[in-house]
Amino acid sequence: MNHYRRLNRVFAATVVTYLLGVNLVAFFFPVLIYNADAFSILAEMIVFLVPFIYCMRNHLSMTEDLGFRPISVENVLWSILFICLLRPAVMFISMISALFLDTSVLESATETMAGGGLFMALIVTAVVPAITEEIVFRGVFYQGYRKHGILIAIGFSSLLFSLIHLNFFMFIYTFVLGVAFCFLVEATGSVWSSVIAHAVFNGYSVVVTMIEEQQLSLMTEAEQEAYYATSAQVSVFSYVYYGIAAVGCGVLCYVVYKKICKINQVELTAEKLTMHDKVRRVTVPLVIGVLICLAYMVFLQSA
């Protein structure tokens, strides 16, 4: 059975359902646009809809088929350290991407996040996306693609994960995160590790944003303007600093990953990673889904 053929159709249907769903909701229920928390959760539920139907129709098990096996406290702690050490690399990629791409979508999301309370921001930005997106991309897609080979499955599922964010600025670093989450699942044997890492990564952004907004609220208008002007000026030193931090923490991240593999007695050899079945992976539904995402991203970038 070619799982790529079926899952590629699921991805195309997910893309179409998501774009139609959020735009129809915005058109018929414009009041929801002004309730960012409700709209964000609804958008996550729409992404989740088609894969959920796919799981129900095929009677997929959360543990055996989607990889949500029990995880030890030790693995949880090491997974958290792993994603924290990866963060400087993601920050550096974001800084490079910001030189060439529009960041207004991310800035708008940050402003929305800061507008609510900490608890709700964590639920909307960290908890809900971590659960829904990990079920979909590390559960449904990765576990399904993986049946025909690990490394190619990591690449395909991470590509779909980055595309569904529908933003060129986020594309590269979400792809890197997708790859990291997949490798974490391989090392721990459980998608719960990527759920936790995903939630911690997003949660850190929420907390930092809240602290920044709290500090800004204590400043005068002139001090705020000076702060924003300084923040907008990224020096060469900043790129060098984050570049060095990315490399240093990246090495430590690799060491931590090897430790996780050792704890779980997992040996990811090059042969094991590259072994794959000869099946057709690129199908018409996949191409359609990818092209729709890219077209929408171009539209947002030029709008």
Q: Which residue has the higher pLDDT, 4 or 2?
A: 4
State the pLDDT at residue 114.
52
**What are the tens digits of pLDDT across the range 148-188?**
999 999 999 999 999 999 999 999 999 999 999 999 999 99
| Sign of the torsion formed by the C-alpha atoms of 134, 140, 143 and 148 | negative
State the pLDDT at residue 55.
97
Whose tokens are 């490798």? That residue is 183
- Does the pLDDT of residue 202 top 90, yes or no? yes
CA 231 to mean position of chain CA atoms: 25
State the pLDDT at residue 78.
98
- 225: alpha, beta or left? (left if phi > 0; alpha if psi -120 to 50): alpha
This prediction has a pTM of 0.92
**What are the tens digits of pLDDT across the range 74-85?**
999 999 999 999
- 230: alpha, beta or left? (left if phi > 0; alpha if psi -120 to 50): alpha
Mean pLDDT along residues 109-130: 79
Mean pLDDT along residues 128-140: 97
State the pLDDT at residue 47.
96
- Does the pLDDT of residue 301 top 60, yes or no? yes
State the pLDDT at residue 211.
84
- Does the pLDDT of residue 1 top 80, yes or no? no
**What are the tens digits of pLDDT across the range 219-269?**
777 766 766 666 656 677 788 888 999 999 999 999 999 999 999 999 999
Mean pLDDT along residues 37-51: 93
Give residues with Cβ within 8 angstroms of 194, minimum separation 6. 79, 134, 138, 181, 182, 184, 185
Mean pLDDT along residues 189-206: 96
Q: How far apart are CA 193 and CA 8, in angstroms?
A: 25
Instruction: Give the amino acid at 199.
Output: A
Mean pLDDT along residues 205-211: 87
Domain definitions of the chain by residue range: 3-302
In this prediction, residue 200 has a pLDDT band, given cuts at 50, 70 and 90, of very high
State the pLDDT at residue 238.
82
In this prediction, residue 116 has a pLDDT band, given cuts at 50, 70 and 90, of low
State the pLDDT at residue 112.
54
Helix or strand (DSSP H, E) at 214: helix 192-217
What average pLDDT does the structure give for the chain?
90
Mean pLDDT along residues 141-145: 97
